[in-house]
Amino acid sequence: MMRLVDLTATLDPANRDKLPPALAHVAGVIAPRIDYLNPAEEGGKNEFCASLGCSHDDLPDGEGWGAERLNDLSSHCGTHVDAPLHSGTRSGGAPARTITDITLDELFRPAMVLDVREWARGGEPITIEMLDRAIDAVGRPIERGDAVLVRTGQERYTMDDPEFFNQPGMSREGTLHLTSLGATILGTDAVGWDLPFPVMSARFRSGGDKTTLWDGHKAITQREAFIVQQLVNLGELPATGFRVAFFPIKLARCSAAPARVVAFVPTDHPGGQ
């Protein structure tokens, strides 16, 4: 028997208004705008009648249908899977794959949780040393094809907290360390895989080193993996011994897609951390 744990964030358009002004231009990665058409209201009635050639007086129970229109929806909205194309046009020496190039087998993987909460700090890199300590705590090494879910502690914050956007982030070195050990899916409970944009920008301006810009994601151009961001409920998972399905919407030729991410945990397995 399996216990299902939903690792997917809810896409709530109300969260768009909670973004800092500097991030308002990427509101579509948090949630779409949604026009709600209620069956009992004009929108639901009008769409029903336009489709079926009837009038409001003809509605069988006085109602139309419920429907929603999604606007300003990024392919990187909410809990989503990044295909290698998100990081660049080449990955691991080959043309970078899109989200529809990835097979379901590659997205249903054995998983482990690396809990770095004890050492990670907001706005600072998650180091290789932290990752190795977390791997040791799991009690088994990363194996080829594993999904590695990094628990940074960002579940403490909601979008009403400024610290939500000041996540601990992965560097190029940390990302390549995980992929060199065999991880093919890299997940995080943070809003982003890398350091916060203001931190990366300030670091670049102070040193002029362009390799520090978005270097966690850019590591995928060297060794292929799929990055998954905005995971929730990692605290309900055991350290290992379970599988996770990362199933994105099939958006043709896209660099990412929103996904329903669900963990399959044996019911006889110890609970969360």
Are 62 and 117 in the same domain? no
Any bridge partners for residue 68, and if so which? 36
* Residue 79: CATH number of its domain: 3.50.30.50
> 155 lies in which domain range?
2-10+75-266
Does residue 258 belong to any structural domain of this protein? yes
Specify if 20 maps to a domain.
Answer: no
Q: Return d(Cα 223, Cα 217) in angstroms, integer.
A: 11
Q: At what angle do helices 128-138 and 172-180 cross, to 10 degrees?
A: 30
Q: Identify whether residues 154 and 251 lie together within a single domain.
A: yes
Whether residue 28 is contained in a domain is answered as no
User: Could you tell me if 107 and 81 are in contact, meaning their C-beta atoms sit under 8 angstroms apart?
Assistant: yes
Q: Are residues 169 and 57 in the same domain?
A: no
- pTM reported for the whole predicted model: 0.95
| The last residue of a domain, from among 71, 93, 124 | 71
Radius of gyration, alpha carbons of the chain: 21
Predicted confidence at residue 91, as pLDDT, reads 98
- Burial of 55: CB neighbours in 10 Å, binned 0-12, 13-18, 19+: exposed
> Is residue 136 domain-shared with residue 168, that is, in the same domain?
yes
pLDDT at 208: 81
Residues 174 and 116 reside in one and the same domain: yes
Contacts of 210 (CB under 8 A, 6+ apart): 204
Q: Are residues 39 and 6 in the same domain?
A: no
91 and 192 housed in the same domain: yes
Q: Is residue 65 part of a domain?
A: yes
Q: Are 15 and 31 in contact (CB under 8 A)?
A: yes
Q: How many CB atoms lie within 10 A of CB 14?
A: 10
Within this chain, do residues 62 and 125 fall inside the same structural domain, yes or no? Answer: no
Task: Please tell me the predicted confidence (pLDDT) of residue 44.
Answer: 97
pLDDT of residue 270: 63
| Total tally of structural domains belonging to the chain | 2
Domain annotation covers residue 27? no
For residue 226 the two structure tokens come to 């799929």
Q: Which mean pLDDT values do the consecutive 10-residue runs of the chain (273 residues) have? A: 96 95 93 97 97 97 97 97 98 98 98 98 98 98 98 95 96 98 98 96 90 96 98 98 98 98 89 61
Residue 208 lies in a domain: yes
Q: What pLDDT was estimated at residue 67?
A: 98
130 and 238 belong to one structural domain:
yes
- Are 46 and 173 within one domain? no
65 and 79 together in one domain = no
Q: Rounded distance, CA 101 to CA 86, Å?
A: 13
Q: 15 lies in a domain?
A: no
pLDDT, position 268: 81
pLDDT of residue 269: 67
Residues 6+ apart with CB under 8 A from 31: 11, 12, 13, 14, 15, 16, 77, 78
User: Are 109 and 210 within one domain?
Assistant: yes
